[in-house]
Amino acid sequence: MNITENIQRIQQAKIDIRNAIIQKGVSVSDTLTIDNFADKILQIEGGGGGEDNLEKLLKNTLNSYTVPNGITSIKPYTFYSATTLASVTIPYGVTHIGEGAFRYCSVLTSVTISNSVKGIDSYVFNNCTSLTSITIPNSVTSISPYAFGYCTSLISVTIPNSVVYIGNGVFNYSTSLASVTWNSTQQYIPSSTFAGCSKLRVLDLSGGATRV
């Protein structure tokens, strides 16, 4: 695909996305930037996970994104399979990240999560295969099943002592994971948490977990 064709594809995608947003009842101007489009997607019930025109933006044009002020929750599957999204910043004020919000974001390498986030739902970063590190802030109290499963480039992670609930399979098949510091006050390690983590060599149970 040459440059002209690529520009035409992006322009048509923006038109399709704008029309789809209007059909869903969210007001939009004629001069929105790509980031503005993504801001609007966050306002739409159910996010952008469906195979419709909204997803064209996420898959084909969005590289870096900062969630705008005023958003308190990222809806399920909002950025699902956004295969060009490399960097995302979740600012203070967001308290919840919905199921599968960033699942299959295969080039996502940088994630900044503010210390207002309390809940990370199931599959949020599942199959983010380029993610090498993540800082879970001390505000997080729950991490639901399979949230970081198949993050095959993830090397190390620290679970803060604010976390009181961790679901099954949170890091399953994160095949590069070598070091985990478990400061969570949850007293057991759930089923299949580290299934397939063949390089895991250091598991620090500073939080006091006593059984698997």
**CA–CA gap between residue 44 and residue 18 (Å, rounded):** 12
**Per-residue pLDDT, 49:** 46
**Per-residue pLDDT, 11:** 74
pLDDT level of residue 151 (50, 70, 90 thresholds):
very high
Output the pTM of the full model: 0.82
Report phi then psi at 159, rounded to 5. Answer: -95, 115
Question: In this structure, which amino acid lies at residue 119?
Answer: G
